[in-house]
Amino acid sequence: MLAQVYRIPDRVVMDAWRRSRPEDPLPLLPPRRARQPSEKLLGAWSSLNDRQRTYLTCIFQQDQEAEAQQRHARHVGAEQRPAEEWRRMTLALSASSDAVGFTRIQERLREAGVHDPGAGSSVAALERRGLIVVYRDRVYVDGLGDLPRTRVEMTRPGRAVARAALGVPREAGPPAPLLSSWLWKIVVRVARAGTQGVDGSLAGRGPHYLAVGQSPDGRTPSRGFIVLRHPDGVTHGPYRWFLTDSGQHHIDDHLDAYRSLYPGIDAEGVNGSSG
């Protein structure tokens, strides 16, 4: 209720409550519930003809497949590609299918009964409605040279319309005070480093969400679970990342929940009470 009144995320209130009232238990909120699709989203779907719906569905399915692959890569610690790269998916190459085969989206379209090249009026109609963005460039193919290529990217509204029409809920995520798996991995890494700390060049956007200061949105506080400072007793030289008291309290409060949520992340030795 406080979060609603002040128009801030639930976790901001819960973090502040834990810091100011450490003796009180902090209950977990229930998992986020999927929102019911709005009439606006369903209306946008209704405005499409059958062929346009098929195109949007197949592009959305490929988008979700690419997203799942990136999520898996992140979980196993593989190198991450920028979203603007993997969300731009090849729809078609201007060449004979005998020479270049079919793209994954074209294969989906063919399974749905659509056998044209895939870069015509239906795609243009989806772009006009702001549901996808179309990119046209050229790509080199061995033995064929430079070929015209059409790529597509789902917009946020396009993804929302497809989700609503197809009944695909967004991933619910963890309860409000808990971290996503990739942020939890960072906290575990810093906690396990103990008094040695973690190299100050800790990569990625994780520190922006976890460190003392402002979140990337520029409005809400960051979690304040890690801090960049000199090691104890050192006044010069490189800075390193260390766990804050709030970070350790968060681990102690929710370690069992994290072990249940992310059993593949080894959090042995991060609990303050167990050393």
pLDDT attached to residue 12: 80
Q: Say how far apart CA 36 and CA 53 lie, in whole Å.
A: 20
pLDDT, tens only, 187-242: 999 999 999 999 877 767 778 889 877 666 666 678 889 999 999 888 888 999 99
Residue 39 φ then ψ, to 5°: -65, -30
Q: What's the whole-model pTM score?
A: 0.58
Q: Say how far apart CA 72 and CA 81 lie, in whole Å.
A: 12
117 vs 86 pLDDT, higher one: 86
> Tokens for 69?
């692959």
As a whole number of Å, the CA-based R_g of the chain is 24
CB 186 within 8 A of CB 202: yes
The yes-or-no verdict on residue 33 having pLDDT over 60 is: no
Distance (Å) of CA 196 to CA 60, 236, 239, 240, 267: 45, 15, 11, 8, 17
Q: Say how far apart CA 56 and CA 131 lie, in whole Å.
A: 8
Q: Other CB atoms closer than 10 Å to residue 17's CB: what's the count?
A: 14
Beta strands in the chain (DSSP E): 89-93, 132-141, 145-154, 198-199, 226-229, 240-243
The yes-or-no verdict on residue 273 having pLDDT over 60 is: no
Cβ-Cβ contacts under 8 Å for 214 (sequence gap 6 or more): 220, 221, 222
